[in-house]
């Protein structure tokens, strides 16, 4: 049996990935979000507020004796209020960093801690963003948190390579970690972006145009691409990449 832990399964990319995985009876999906929108015999849901660091810290992964593969997909994320620094509330900054960076860091730490000695394939996929590489006004917290998850992924990957180089540490299979950006996807986040105040966001018209010109990928399409990549990880050459690198 393959086990997939996915954050943000109530909508968007996370829900689409979960539903695609559930088409295969050999997969079990464990979703983590504040709301549940999937009903399936092989789906289990944890009601978890990923903006609450204490709730995330209290979460524990389960041991699966029949696991052929265990995957953590840190998908949940939010852009938050689109305003320049100087106009944000402290609580907004804290919650968005928690959701986008602190929660996936905690979950990755617990994932590795739980399955460190398990001799099976173990994969961590972080859903990144091009915003982590390109500064966008009004998106300071989102851009920096996505840049943070990219560097976090690179460090974890480096640690796994150091571990593999020491025989006493590499008795069991290590962890594969990747941070892959989905591109511009037609999700609720895009809807929120289009509602931004033009005075707070200079690129508002660009994002309105993406929708008007049908340049947004559907969550369905993107989820299929993520699953295809996970099913053949030999195609992944770098820790950091984008969906478009595999087209």
The 10s digit of each residue's pLDDT in 133-187 is 999 999 999 999 999 999 999 999 999 999 888 766 555 578 999 999 999 999 9
Residues above pLDDT 70, as percent of the chain: 98
Does residue 210 lie within any of the structural domains? no
The tally of domains found in the chain comes to 1
Does residue 230 lie within any of the structural domains? yes
Does residue 207 lie within any of the structural domains? no
b vs e for 161-174, b when ≥16 Cβ sit within 10 Å of the residue's Cβ? eeeeeeeeeeeeeb
Q: How many residues comprise the chain? A: 247
- Is the pTM higher than 0.85? The answer reads yes
**Angle between helices 140-164 and 90-97 in degrees, nearest 10:** 30
Position 166 scores a pLDDT of 74
Give the long-range contacts of residues 54-57, CB within 8 A, separation 24 or more.
56/98, 56/102, 56/103, 56/106, 56/107, 57/106
Query: Does 96 or 247 have the greater pLDDT score?
Result: 96
Range of the domain at 223: 2-183+218-246
Does residue 76 lie within any of the structural domains? yes
Q: Which of 142, 210, 226, 246 is catalytic?
A: 142
* CATH code of the domain containing 159: 3.40.50.720
Task: Inform me whether the pLDDT recorded for 105 exceeds 80.
Answer: yes
Does residue 188 lie within any of the structural domains? no
Does residue 211 lie within any of the structural domains? no
- Run of H or E residues at 106: helix 103-115
Confidence class for position 247, pLDDT limits 50, 70, 90: confident
Best CA proximity match to 17, nearest among 71, 78, 80: 71
Q: Cα–Cα distance between 132 and 211 in angstroms, integer?
A: 22
Does residue 127 lie within any of the structural domains? yes
Does residue 31 lie within any of the structural domains? yes
Catalytic annotation on 246? no
């Amino acid at each position: 049996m393959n086990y997939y832990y996915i954050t943000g399964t109530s909508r968007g990319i996370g829900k689409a990935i979960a539903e695609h995985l559930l088409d295969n009876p050999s997969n079990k999906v464990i979703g983590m979000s504040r709301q549940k929108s999937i009903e399936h015999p092989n789906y289990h849901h944890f009601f978890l507020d990923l903006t609450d660091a204490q709730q995330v810290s209290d979460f524990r992964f389960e041991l699966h004796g029949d696991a052929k593969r265990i995957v953590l997909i840190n998908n949940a994320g939010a852009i938050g209020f689109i305003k320049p620094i100087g106009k944000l509330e402290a609580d907004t900054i804290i919650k968005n960093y928690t959701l986008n960076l602190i929660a996936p860091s905690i979950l990755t730490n617990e994932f590795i801690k739980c399955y460190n000695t398990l001799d099976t394939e173990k994969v961590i996929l972080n859903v990144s963003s091009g915003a982590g590489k390109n500064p966008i006004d009004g998106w300071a917290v989102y851009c920096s948190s996505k840049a943070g998850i990219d560097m976090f992924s690179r460090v974890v990957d480096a640690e796994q390579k150091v571990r593999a180089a020491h025989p006493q540490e590499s008795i069991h299979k290590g962890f594969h970690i990747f941070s892959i950006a989905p591109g511009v996807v037609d999700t609720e986040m895009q809807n929120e972006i289009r509602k931004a105040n033009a005075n707070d966001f200079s690129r508002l018209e660009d994002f309105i145009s993406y929708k008007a010109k049908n340049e947004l990928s559907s969550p369905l399409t993107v989820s299929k691409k993520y699953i295809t990549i996970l099913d053949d990880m030999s195609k992944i050459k770098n820790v950091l990449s984008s969906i478009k690198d595999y087209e």
